[in-house]
């Protein structure tokens, strides 16, 4: 069995969610952790978790919501984190890819949510893009555990996060021809890895550029099995155990 620890499932992207979830389960992906990271998708994700046994949820404001989120949203987030099957805070973090004029505000939003995660004792799902140094320095201030979502950094950076107790979310990027992520997988091993698709984005090869779905998790697992020279069943088992432990899944 596999767990997709990070995906987005929304009616905006899929015509028939029933069918998508059925396909995922048929592919051996028994649990999907859906990330709601703006006001609308937070509500949608929680609704899905009520409708489907196989869906758990993490909620938090993505850094691209920095101009939108007001105090009321943060208060609501805090309330919603008490909902059954909401198992983490995220994705939250820093994204410096599109310029730097809102960095201070991103940091403020990030830290507010880290404080909440610490308070409610839930793991965090971290989005960090072109912001490694700030992300590391900020995370060091909070007693939280979590996952570096869609990790694609260097071996050095991977080692730092692992030493801080973070797990690395490995997704479709590991299957891309030009990716150096295999070096990270070799270095940290299965004990520090979680599987994720980030669907509907980042479909693995040979579906790169197409609509992604959790049903492609076994493709990612197969690649990791090849890199580490272990049976694919081990990849499924160990990464599932890692996810169950981190998110305290029942
Ligand atoms: Ni995502």
Q: Give the whole-angstrom CA distance, residue 210 versus residue 62.
A: 23
Alpha-carbon dihedral angle through residues 52, 147, 7, 242, given to the nearest 10 degrees: -50
139-150: average pLDDT: 98
At residue 135, the pLDDT reads: 98
- Measure 72 CA to ligand 1 centroid, in angstroms: 23
Per residue in 211-222, pLDDT (tens digit) is 999 999 999 999
Range of the domain at 110: 2-247
Q: What is the pLDDT of residue 11?
A: 87
- Output the pTM of the full model: 0.96
**Number of domain units in the chain:** 1
Kindly give the distance from the C-alpha atom of residue 8 to the centroid of ligand 1, in angstroms, as a whole number.
Answer: 6
Centroid of ligand 1 to alpha carbon of 198 (angstroms): 5
Q: What is the mean pLDDT of residues 43-51?
A: 97
Distance CA 45, CA 56 (A): 8
Query: What's 210's domain CATH number?
Result: 3.20.20.140
Rounded Cα gap, residues 213 and 4, in angstroms: 9
Neighbours of ion ligand 1 (CB under 5 A): 198
Is the per-residue pLDDT at 197 higher than 90?
A: yes
Q: Are 198 and 208 in contact (CB under 8 A)?
A: no
Compute the distance from residue 149 Cα to the ligand 1 centre, in Å: 7
C-alpha to C-alpha distance for 180 and 32, rounded to whole angstroms: 26
User: In angstroms, what is the span from residue 161 Cα to ligand 1's centroid?
Assistant: 19
Residue matched to tokens 């995922």: 24
Mean pLDDT of 178-186: 96
Residue 169 in 3-state DSSP?
Answer: strand
């Amino acid at each position: 069995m596999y767990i997709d620890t990070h995906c987005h499932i929304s009616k905006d992207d899929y015509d028939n969610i029933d069918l998508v979830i059925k396909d995922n389960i048929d592919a051996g992906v028994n649990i999907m952790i859906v990330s709601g990271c703006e006001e609308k998708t937070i509500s949608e994700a929680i609704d899905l978790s009520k409708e489907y046994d196989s869906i758990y949820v993490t909620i938090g404001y993505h850094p691209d919501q920095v101009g939108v989120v007001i105090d009321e949203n943060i208060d609501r987030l805090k309330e919603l984190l008490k909902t059954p099957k909401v198992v983490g805070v995220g994705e939250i973090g820093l994204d410096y890819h599109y310029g730097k004029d809102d960095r201070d505000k991103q940091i403020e939003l990030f830290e507010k949510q880290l404080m909440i995660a610490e308070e409610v004792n839930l793991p965090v799902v971290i989005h960090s893009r072109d912001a490694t140094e700030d992300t590391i320095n900020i995370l060091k201030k909070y007693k939280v555990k979590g996952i570096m979502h869609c990790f694609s950094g260097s071996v050095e950076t991977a080692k730092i996060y692992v030493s801080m107790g973070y797990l690395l979310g490995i997704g479709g990027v590991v299957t891309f021809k030009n990716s150096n992520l295999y070096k990270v997988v070799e270095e940290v091993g299965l004990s520090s890895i979680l599987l994720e698709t980030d669907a509907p984005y980042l479909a693995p090869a040979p579906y790169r550029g197409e609509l992604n779905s959790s049903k492609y998790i076994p493709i990612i697992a197969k690649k990791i099995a090849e890199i580490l020279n272990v049976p694919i069943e081990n990849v499924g088992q160990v990464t599932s155990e890692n996810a169950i432990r981190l998110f305290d899944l029942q």
